Each structure stands twice: as structure tokens, then as C-alpha cells.
């Protein structure tokens, strides 16, 4: 992995293009969940609209990299597994009930694939600076959220108001969504706190932020983040080995323990001791122990698989199933199998296993500078485990964070700089074909978004507060659109 390094210190315009795009994506992760852009009243629809705008620019960055030899040979090739999965998705979309929406889902995922490729090339060119930026960026995102909660907490205390969910929920209407983003960011911050090359002050501050984030997630009463780490950490121990993952895992576990203690003091004991309100309880024990009606989603997914096992019912078409309260199954495997078909799901699992097997073999047992890309591996494993019980891979902000993390994983397997690019003209033509396909996907995505965002926002405003929203593409989430 140390062979993956910059060719020289010379900077080209392609470096600025890729750097600007990644900076824009970081700004998206920072601004859209906390402050917002002021475009659309619905937080989810605004995040989706901003995501579409940035995804539409990603093929341009890809084309710029294809023109630069230093980046072109680092652009990962789209293997036969990925190509076959997308071909199956396109075939499934052609036979779907709502064809436009089905092709939008395929287009969205193809643009996310291009984002992964662009990120991988950028990280492979400068792996150590890229990883440091990811670590400090994750720390900034987590610290911003923790600071926002602290401000709301102090405001509630000063107003002598009992604590409620509004104190710990920033930028979202559902507590699961910030928790899903935190799950992807924690490995980067934890690896920063575990890095002895960093100063003691930054490591201590990072640990405090991590403890605050775990306490906040207890207050949010989300369960998937705890499940994800309980499963992912032992899995990573097997995949990477104790030497590689030991210190980062120790920081995660220690900060989670400190977070439990912090939650008990700040959200449970302190409110009762001061007497300004009841201790914080976002959900009752009965709610936490419930299955959240997941059995209906599992049963609906299995019925959809039985109805169309080979090509699925069509991308995004789970949202059109009558009588189902959610627009997606809250499980990425069931979603893929029911909508894209069993062959696409099997190939995706097989390709993912190959990716992590090879990446794990390269990263296993290494420490220090050779382990700089490990946080990307940890974040992706956590995101995939999390996605088995929730819809983190459907939500726009977490989709982006996971795609950027996968870019780092793919960078581990990128060609080394001194490897000659095979058939450069063929690779350049293939890259431009991918860029053109990406632009076509962006046009279809933009057309669909412009046509549907208004009716979706209006539909949300007419729905009574007692009816929950289960977003998929737009906040209302369901097909056919209510405007029809």
C-alpha cells in the first residue's frame, strides 16, 4: 500500500478539479444536514436535490481524469460483475410498472458508481493527505453535530424546558438518519484518535467528541448503530487481523462506554438533580423492544422475489406495493433481490466479498503508514452491516458518505503509479464512453427531479402529521405520485 503514492509534486488542473469536487461533497455533508441550503422546505427533498446537482457534475470530473495520464491509470475499471449488475438493473427497469422512476434509480446508482471511481483515483494519487482530510473532516462533521446539540441543551436548560427529541435531532425529521451518518464517520475519527503520530490534544479532543456522539445516539434511541458495530467489529477483527484493527476498535469501544456514562449524567441524572424537567426519554422500553413492523417488509420483499425472481419487480418499485407502509425494505439485500432480481443480488454479494477479501488481504496485519486507508474499509463494513436493518443506503447524505468511503476501499486495489497503463487509447475511449453514459444519467435524473419535486413537496404538506414519511427518492416516497 505504500506504493500507492503521488508520482511527483507537480500539480495539474485535474488535481484542482478533483479537489474542488471532493470539497463540494464535504460541504454537502456538512451544510445540508445542519443548516440547509434554503431551497426546499422539506429537509430530505433539499438533500436529494443538492445530491443530484453534485452527482451531475461528477462525470465531468471523471472525463477530466481520463485526459490526465497520472489519473487515468488510477481510474478503476468497471469489472464484469458490476457491468452485469447494472445491465440486469436496466432490464428490470424496462419491465417495471413505473419505468421513469425505475430508470432514475439505476441512473442514481450509476452516478454513485462514478463518484466511487473518481474518489478512488483521487485517493490513490495522494493516499496519506486524502486519509488525513477524511479523518479531520469526519471529526469536524461530528463535532459540529455535538456542538449543535450542546447549544440546544443549554437553551433548553436556560428556558427551564424539559428535554425532548428536538434537543438532539438537528437537520432531520427522523432520528435514524443522523445516526446512520454518524456510523460511517466514527471509524475515521476513531482512527485519528488511535494514531500516535497525532498530537495528544487532538487525540483527546477527538475522543471527547466520539463520546458525545455515542451519548447523543443513546438519546436519539436508535438501535441500528449499536447493532452495526457489535457485528462489524468482530467481522473486521477476522477480516483484517488484530494488529490492523486493534487500536481503532479499542477507541470505538472505549468511547462508546464513555458515551453511555455521559448520557447517564447529562440526559438522565442532571435534569432530575437540577429539577428543570424529567429525565430524557426519546422512546419507551416497549418501543425500543419492538420490531418496528419489519416483518411486513420482510414478507413483502419475499413475495416480490417470488413474483419476479430473475429480474425483480423493478428498481424503486417496492415503493409502489399497495398496503406497505415503507418505500423500501430497510434491508439492502432484500431491496436488491426484490427489485433488481436474485441474480443481481447474488452477483453484488459475490463482488463485494471479493473486494473486501482482496482489500483485507492487502491490509491484514499492517500498521502505521501502511494502514492509512483502513478507516475506509471499516466505514464500509459498518455501513453494509447497518444497511441490513435500516435504510441508510437509501438516504441521500448517507449514500454519499458510503460512496466516498467505498472510493477509499477501491483505492487500496488501484494500480500502482509505475505500472504501465495497458492499451491507453482503448482505456481512454472506454473512459469517455462511461463519462457520456454518466452525463445521460444526469440528464434523466435532472429531468425527473425537476418534474416531480413540486408535486412531492405539495403532497407532503397535505399529509396529516400522524402519517409518517418513509423517504426513498423524495420525502413522500411512494409510487404512484400523489399528484397523479
Q: 55-74: per-residue pLDDT in tens?
A: 999 999 999 888 888 888 88
Q: At residue 337, does pLDDT exceed 90?
A: yes
3 state SS of 16: helix
DSSP state string for 287-314: HHHS-TTHHHHHHHHHHHHHHSTTT-S-
Question: Could you tell me what percent of the chain has a pLDDT over 70?
Answer: 85
Q: 16-32: per-residue pLDDT in tens?
A: 888 888 889 999 999 98
Q: At residue 454, does pLDDT exceed 60?
A: yes
Q: Measured between alpha carbons, how far is 380 from 376 in angstroms, rounded to an integer?
A: 6
pLDDT of residue 415: 53
Q: Measured between alpha carbons, how far is 69 from 316 in angstroms, rounded to an integer?
A: 38
pLDDT of residue 5: 45
CB-based contact 130:457 (threshold 8 Å): no
Q: What is the dihedral of CA 328, 331, 334, 336, to 10 degrees?
A: 70
Q: Measured between alpha carbons, how far is 371 from 127 in angstroms, rounded to an integer?
A: 10
Sequence ranges of the domains in the chain? 13-462
pLDDT of residue 2: 39
Give the three cell numbers for residue 441. 444519467
Instruction: Provide the whole-model pTM.
Output: 0.91
Burial 1-40 (b: 16+ CB within 10 A, else e): beebebeeeeeeebbebbbebbeebbebbeebbbeeeeeb
Q: 105-146: per-residue pLDDT in tens?
A: 999 999 999 999 999 999 988 888 889 999 999 999 999 999
* Cα–Cα–Cα angle for 456, 401, 330, rounded to 5 degrees: 55
Q: Measured between alpha carbons, how far is 447 from 104 in angstroms, rounded to an integer?
A: 10
pLDDT of residue 380: 95
* Cα–Cα–Cα angle for 287, 290, 296, rounded to 5 degrees: 130
Q: Measured between alpha carbons, how far is 65 from 16 in angstroms, rounded to an integer?
A: 11
Identify the residue with better confidence: 419 or 227.
227
What is the rounded average pLDDT for all residues in the chain? 85
Amino acid at each position: 500500500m505504500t506504493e500507492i503514492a503521488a508520482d511527483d509534486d507537480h500539480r495539474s488542473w485535474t488535481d484542482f478539479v478533483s479537489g474542488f469536487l471532493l470539497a463540494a461533497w464535504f460541504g454537502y455533508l456538512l451544510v445540508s444536514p445542519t443548516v440547509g441550503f434554503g431551497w426546499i422546505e422539506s429537509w430530505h427533498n433539499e438533500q436529494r436535490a443538492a445530491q443530484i446537482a453534485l452527482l451531475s457534475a461528477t462525470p465531468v470530473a471523471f472525463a477530466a481524469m481520463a485526459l490526465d495520464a497520472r489519473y487515468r491509470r488510477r481510474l478503476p475499471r468497471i469489472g464484469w460483475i458490476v457491468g452485469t449488475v447494472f445491465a440486469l438493473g436496466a432490464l428490470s427497469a424496462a419491465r417495471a410498472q413505473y419505468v421513469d422512476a425505475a430508470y432514475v434509480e439505476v441512473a442514481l446508482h450509476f452516478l454513485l458508481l462514478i463518484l466511487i471511481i473518481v474518489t478512488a483515483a483521487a485517493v490513490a494519487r495522494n493516499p496519506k493527505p486524502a486519509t488525513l482530510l477524511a479523518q479531520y473532516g469526519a471529526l469536524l462533521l461530528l463535532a459540529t453535530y455535538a456542538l449543535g446539540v450542546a447549544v440546544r441543551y443549554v437553551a433548553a436548560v436556560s428556558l427551564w424546558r424539559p428535554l425532548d427529541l428536538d434537543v438532539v435531532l438537528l437537520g432531520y425529521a427522523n432520528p435514524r438518519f443522523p445516526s446512520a451518518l454518524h456510523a460511517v464517520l466514527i471509524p475515521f475519527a476513531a482512527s485519528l484518535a488511535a494514531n500516535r503520530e497525532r498530537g495528544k490534544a487532538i487525540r483527546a479532543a477527538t475522543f471527547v467528541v466520539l463520546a458525545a456522539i455515542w451519548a447523543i445516539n443513546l438519546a436519539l434511541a436508535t438501535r441500528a448503530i449499536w447493532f452495526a458495530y457489535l457485528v462489524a467489529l468482530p467481522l473486521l477483527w477476522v477480516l483484517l487481523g488484530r494488529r490492523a484493527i486493534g487500536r481503532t476498535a479499542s477507541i470505538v469501544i472505549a468511547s462508546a462506554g464513555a458515551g453511555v456514562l455521559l448520557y447517564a449524567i447529562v440526559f438522565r441524572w442532571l435534569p432530575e438533580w437540577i429539577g428543570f424537567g424529567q429525565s430524557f426519554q426519546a422512546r419507551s422500553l416497549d418501543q425500543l423492544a419492538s420490531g418496528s413492523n419489519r416483518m411486513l417488509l420482510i414478507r413483502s420483499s419475499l413475495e416480490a422475489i417470488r413474483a419476479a425472481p430473475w429480474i425483480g419487480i423493478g428498481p424503486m418499485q417496492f415503493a409502489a406495493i399497495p398496503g406497505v407502509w415503507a418505500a423500501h425494505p430497510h434491508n439492502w439485500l432484500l431491496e436488491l433481490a426484490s427489485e433488481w432480481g436474485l441474480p443481481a443480488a447474488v452477483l453484488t454479494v459475490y463482488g463485494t466479498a471479493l473486494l473486501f477479501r482482496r482489500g483485507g488481504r492487502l491490509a491484514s496485519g499492517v500498521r502505521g503508514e501502511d494502514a492509512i486507508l483502513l478507516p475506509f474499509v471499516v466505514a464500509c463494513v459498518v455501513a453494509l452491516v447497518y444497511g441490513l436493518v435500516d435504510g441508510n443506503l437509501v438516504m441521500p447524505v448517507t449514500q454519499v458518505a458510503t460512496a466516498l468511503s467505498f472510493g477509499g476501499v477501491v483505492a487500496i486495489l488501484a494500480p500502482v503509479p509505475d505500472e504501465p497503463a495497458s492499451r491507453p487509447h482503448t482505456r481512454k475511449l472506454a473512459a469517455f464512453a462511461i463519462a457520456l453514459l454518466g452525463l445521460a444519467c444526469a440528464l434523466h435524473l435532472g429531468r425527473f427531479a425537476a418534474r416531480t419535486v413540486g408535486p412531492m413537496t405539495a403532497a407532503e404538506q397535505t399529509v396529516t402529521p400522524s402519517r409518517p414519511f418513509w423517504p426513498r427518492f423524495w420525502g413522500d416516497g411512494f409510487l404512484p405520485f400523489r399528484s397523479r
